[in-house]
Structure 1
Amino acid sequence: MSDAPARPMKYPYTISAKIAQFPMKYYVQNQWIWRYWMAGILVSAPIFYKIHKLANSPENVKIWAENKRKEEASHH
């Protein structure tokens, strides 16, 4: 087998070539949206985790199951 080409293709026409040649580092360093997106994930992750824990607490699961049981009983 031969080694990888010494220079990239002029026009990357395959998906893997497009991904390999995409200048992600440039975009992360020079566009504000990437920094705010990453910061937003870090800030919102604990909030969503807390909501998840509250929604799936044993008490809430019992209430939900009871409500679903009543709803299904009213349809039959």
Structure 2
Amino acid sequence: GALPSVVSGLVDLPVIGVPTSTGYGLGGGGVSALLTMLQSCSPGVAVVNIDNGVGAGAIAALIANRVAARKKLLEGGG
């Protein structure tokens, strides 16, 4: 659950955290990883629900669309 916070502190890009229901030790079905990610104080971390890869993909698509729109605007095409 701490990996998105660590990565977010190292890079200047958005990070999407996807807690999984499987893991090692007492994971509580992903609840502990989810709570750890939600309590992150690192900027740029987006967290989706447990095992929600589709939601993470949707966030990634939104980010990519905003980057593309901004790039188009800066190039004078929009």
**Per the shorter chain, which TM-score range?**
0.3 to 0.5
Bigger radius of gyration among the two? 1
Structure whose residues are more often helix by fraction: 1
Task: State the TM-score, normalized to the length of structure 2.
Answer: 0.33
Structure whose residues are more often strand by fraction: 2
